[in-house]
Amino acid sequence: MAVIIDGKATALVVRGALRKDVEAFAQEKNIAPGLAVVIVGSDPASQVYVRNKHKACGEVGMYSEVHALPAETTEDELLLLIDKLNKDAKIHGILVQLPLPKHLDEEKVILAIDPRKDVDAFHPQNVGKIMIGNFSFVPCTPAGVMELLKQYNIDPAGKHCVIIGRSNIVGKPQAMLMLKENATVTICHSKTANLAEITKTADILVAAVGRANFVTADMVKEGAVVIDVGINRNADGKLCGDVDFAAVEPMASYITPVPGGVGPMTITMLLKNTLTAAKEQTK
């Protein structure tokens, strides 16, 4: 039987420590770390994420602003707001909730954010820093995965880590973080031949493909650590991950559930990134 990696409990521990760090920072600098979240349109999932981020900021003593813009907001209007937030001294982190409405250029919007305030770490300057291993903050989901491994004393050094998925948000930065911790990394994707043969060699398997129950027991090595980044709905409308949990759990040594695994860590790492940004901007 696998050890279930509890993301909710881990997030509480990390946020508890973070709250103390935020208090110390606020006392020393006489300003709270500040996060501005921008949402365009009324995507229900995005609205839930934004509410959760705003609430989490309050829990650890951070200042938070939510800028909810109508779906018909023009690109110029959005870029004007980002410019204003870039210049706002009480805002240390800026997050534009993705996806944006189709008439807005996501790449142009990300480029407009001051890299020092880019707490999602999507700006090419921050992506480059991740590539060379000299970064201040990293995308929140991969950072959350690494924090979970750390909290459960799972050392990637010398292990073979297989990542299914090559997105800029999870797969690619996850690979760089694993490399930094001295893992040997293989990235698999939709064009990978003999996928199951490769995944069965993984000591640490990270599923970030976005397909419900995609990873089955015959794809997992006995005793592997299985990290499920996916958030999907199955045929019954129930929340599930990329891993067939019931089938894979008996094979694994450690496994993350969905919900309650990686998810709670994502916002926690956003808070951590915001504090890091605040410290760097107030040196």
Question: Residues with catalytic annotation?
Answer: 53, 97, 120
The Cα–Cα gap between 154 and 160 comes to 13
- From 144, 175, 261, select the one nearest 252 (Cα to Cα): 261
The Cα–Cα gap between 2 and 83 comes to 48
DSSP 144-159: HHHHHHHHTT---TT-
- From 84, 92, 82, 97, select the one nearest 34 (Cα to Cα): 92
Q: For residue 239, which phi and psi values (nearest 5 degrees)?
A: -65, 130
Cβ neighbourhood burial of 1 (10 Å; 0-12, 13-18, 19+): exposed
**Which spans in the chain are helix H?**
7-29, 44-60, 75-87, 106-112, 124-132, 140-151, 171-180, 195-199, 245-248, 263-281
Contact (Cβ atoms closer than 8 angstroms) between residue 209 and residue 171: no
